[in-house]
Amino acid sequence: MNIEQIIKGIKERSPRAIARAITMVENGDVLVEDLLSSLDKEAIDSTMVFGITGPPGAGKSTLTGKIVGYCRKLGKRVGVIAVDPSSPLSGGAIHGDRIRMMEHSLDMDVVIRSMATRGRLGGLCASAGAVCRILASSGCNPIIIETVGVGQSEIDIVKIADVTALVSAPGLGDDIQALKAGLMEVADVMVVNKADKPEAQMLAVELNEIAREKGTEVILTIASEGKGVDKLYHVMEKIYLENEKKGIKQQKRIEYRKKEITDWVIEMIRSDIEKKIDSIDTDLDKDPRVVASKVASELKDVLLN
Ligand SMILES: Nc1nc2c(ncn2[C@@H]2O[C@H](COP(=O)(O)OP(=O)(O)O)[C@@H](O)[C@H]2O)c(=O)[nH]1
Ligand SMILES: [Mg+2]
């Protein structure tokens, strides 16, 4: 398949073309720039991107699967990007390859892709943005991004979403503290999953206090039974539409785009930086931080002149 065929194939919703395009993005293929330049801007602008984040075990994958099911009932074509190496949705994401949700694996209008973190979140952010735009151009709306959100470093990837649901559940222990520390700030809506467990009520009360201060909502779900999923979907859609009307969505996207550009630039000059460091090996006895300052100031001199 050449670039023209892939571009045409994406518009025609060909799974093979979509897969090829995403692989090109992930492999850092230079030719992908032609492809990315000719994606459907209107579709990209009007596609809702929903983030589902929270600690491992909260039920994000189960919930994502049910939201997909609900979207299909509404006749919507859905994209899923699972940035969760441990996700059962991704079958472990061992190959970082196209993943399957058993129920939806034969459905042509559910496009699922898992992305391995590969320990490099910066690069991941950049690739995820491109993948998102490819899926939008193939007619997916909404796109759901599932991410494990436990640390500060994962928060960046969450910002790709227009609307983020923070999923928690009773019995996750200290992870809730981590949530409070980091992810609350990016949550547009809070979900207490596993509402079939009695302890869920306590958690909901606790989160409600925080939510009230922030002006957000707490939604109870039983993902395993599909309960509360329709409500969650409609709340996220409502927030999307409100943010769009207020220009908040557009602003968020501009911010993310700048971040993507920054990440790509760093990615693209990484090997030059490595070469530079190789060329100053006489200084390696010094503290790395000290050497880094020297390298950075030399690079800045080159860049700014
Ligand atoms: N009791 C109960 N278990 C659930 C619910 N939702 C998911 N689970 C279970 O919780 C475990 C973790 O779910 P998973 O979706 O993989 O969580 P993730 O790590 O956040 O993606 C699985 O064993 C699910 O079957 C729920 O609403 N109630
Ligand atoms: Mg998961």
**Which ligand neighbours the alpha carbon of 150 most closely?**
1
In a domain, 252, yes or no: no
Task: Count other Cβ atoms within 10 Å, centred on residue 53.
Answer: 28
Q: What would the pLDDT profile of 248-301 be if each residue is shown by its tens digit?
A: 999 999 999 998 898 888 888 888 888 888 887 766 788 989 889 988 898 888
User: Residue 106 has what pLDDT?
Assistant: 76
Examine residue 251 and state whether it is found in any structural domain, yes or no: no
260 φ, ψ to 5°?
Answer: -60, -45
Structure confidence at residue 8 (pLDDT): 96
Residue 212 pLDDT class (50, 70, 90 cuts) = confident
Residue of the nearest CA to atom 12 in ligand 1?
57
Q: Residue 99: inside a domain, yes or no?
A: yes
The answer to the question of residue 64 being in a domain is yes
Tell me, in angstroms, the distance from the centre of ligand 1 to residue 116's CA: 21
The DSSP secondary-structure symbol of 161 reads -
Write out the residue range of the structural domain in which residue 119 sits. 40-246
Shared-domain flag, residues 23 and 148 = no
Cα 282 to middle of ligand 1, angstroms:
54
Co-location of 234 and 298 in the same domain: no
CATH of residue 125's domain is 3.40.50.300
CA distance 228 to 123: 35
Query: Would you state the pLDDT for residue 174?
Result: 62
Mean pLDDT (whole number) for 24-30: 83
Within this chain, do residues 295 and 165 fall inside the same structural domain, yes or no? no
Question: What is residue 30's predicted lDDT score, i.e. its pLDDT?
Answer: 83
pLDDT of amino acid 94 = 36
For residues 59 and 34, state if they share a domain: no
Alpha helices (H) in the chain, listed in sequence order: 3-11, 15-26, 32-37, 41-46, 60-73, 121-137, 155-158, 175-182, 200-214, 229-246, 248-278, 288-304
φ, ψ for residue 27 (rounded to 5)?
-85, 0
CA nearest ligand 1 atom 14, residue: 59
Residue 253 falls inside a structural domain: no
Whether the CB-CB separation of 193 and 67 falls below 8 Å is answered with: no
What radius of gyration, in Å, describes the C-alpha atoms of the chain? 21
Looking at residue 9, what is its pLDDT? 97
Neighbours of 170 (CB within 10 A): 20
Confidence of residue 305 (pLDDT cuts 50, 70, 90): confident
In the reported structure, the alpha carbon of residue 229 is separated from the centroid of ligand 1 by a whole-number distance in angstroms of 14
The answer to whether 9 and 17 are in contact (CB under 8 A) is yes
Which ligand minimizes its atom distance to the CA of 54? 1
Whole-model pTM: value is 0.88
In this structure, of 69-73, 110-114, 126-130, 247-251, the range with the lowest mean pLDDT score is 126-130
The Cα 125–Cα 132 span in angstroms is 11
What tokens appear for 265 in the block? 């630039």
Q: Domain boundary at 246, 269, 288, which? A: 246
Do the beta carbons of residue 159 and residue 249 sit within 8 Å? no
224 C-alpha vs ligand 1 centroid, how far in Å? 7
Q: Name the pLDDT band for 175 (thresholds 50, 70, 90).
A: low
pLDDT tens track for 222-242: 999 999 999 999 999 999 999
Q: Over 90: is that where the pLDDT of 96 sits?
A: no
Residue nearest to atom 26 of ligand 1 (CA): 194
Q: Which residue has the higher pLDDT, 18 or 263?
A: 18
Q: Is 161 in the same domain as 67?
A: yes
Ligand 2 mean position to 268 CA, how many Å? 31
Band (92; pLDDT cuts 50, 70, 90):
very low
90 close to 84: Cβ distance less than 8 angstroms? yes
Boundary residue ending a domain (201, 219, 246): 246
Nearest-atom number in ligand 1 for the CA of 146 is 21
Residues 174 and 290 in one domain: no
Span from the CA of 95 to the centroid of ligand 2 (angstroms): 16
Residue 67 lies in a domain: yes
Neighbouring residues of 35: CB distance < 8 A, sequence distance ≥ 6: 3, 6, 7, 21, 24
Number of separate domains in the chain:
3
CA of 31 to the centre of ligand 2 (A): 32
What distance in Å separates the CA atoms of residue 217 and residue 63, rounded to the nearest whole number? 17
Q: Whose CA is nearest to atom 3 of ligand 1?
A: 194
Considering the chain, what is the average pLDDT of its residues?
85
Q: For residue 41, give both structure tokens.
A: 């801007």
β strands within the chain, DSSP E? 49-54, 78-83, 110-114, 143-148, 163-168, 189-192, 217-220
Please check whether residue 11 lies inside any domain of the structure.
yes
Which atom from ligand 1 is nearest to the alpha carbon of 65?
A: 15
Q: Does one domain contain both 286 and 143?
A: no
pLDDT(119) > 70 = no
Q: How long a stretch of residues is the chain?
A: 305
Residue 189 CA to ligand 1 center (angstroms) comes to 19
Q: Are residues 216 and 279 in the same domain?
A: no
Examine the domain organization and report whether 33 and 44 are in the same domain: no
Residue of minimum CA distance from atom 7 in ligand 1: 59
Mutate to test the pocket of ligand 1, among 52, 53, 60, 62 (most ligand atoms within 8 A of CB): 62
Confidence at residue 180, expressed as pLDDT on a 0 to 100 scale? 64
Instruction: Yes or no: say if 100 and 159 are a contact pair by the CB < 8 Å rule.
Output: no
**Same domain as 162, residue 21:** no
Q: What is the DSSP string of 14-71?
A: -HHHHHHHHHHHHTT-TTHHHHHHTS-HHHHHH--EEEEEESTTSSHHHHHHHHHHHH
**Mutation test residue for ligand 1: of 224, 227, 232, the one with most atoms within 8 Å of CB:** 224
Q: Are residues 98 and 204 in the same domain?
A: yes
Q: SS3 for 166?
A: strand
Whose alpha carbon is nearest atom 2 of ligand 1? Answer: 194
* pLDDT at position 151: 56
Residues with CB under 6 A from ligand 1: 56-62, 87-88, 193-194, 196-197, 222-224
Q: Establish if 61 belongs to a structural domain.
A: yes
271, 29, 246: which is closest to 127 by C-alpha?
A: 29
Which residues are CB-contacts of 231 (< 8 A; sequence separation ≥ 6)?
Answer: 219, 221
Residues 152 and 288 occupy one common structural domain = no
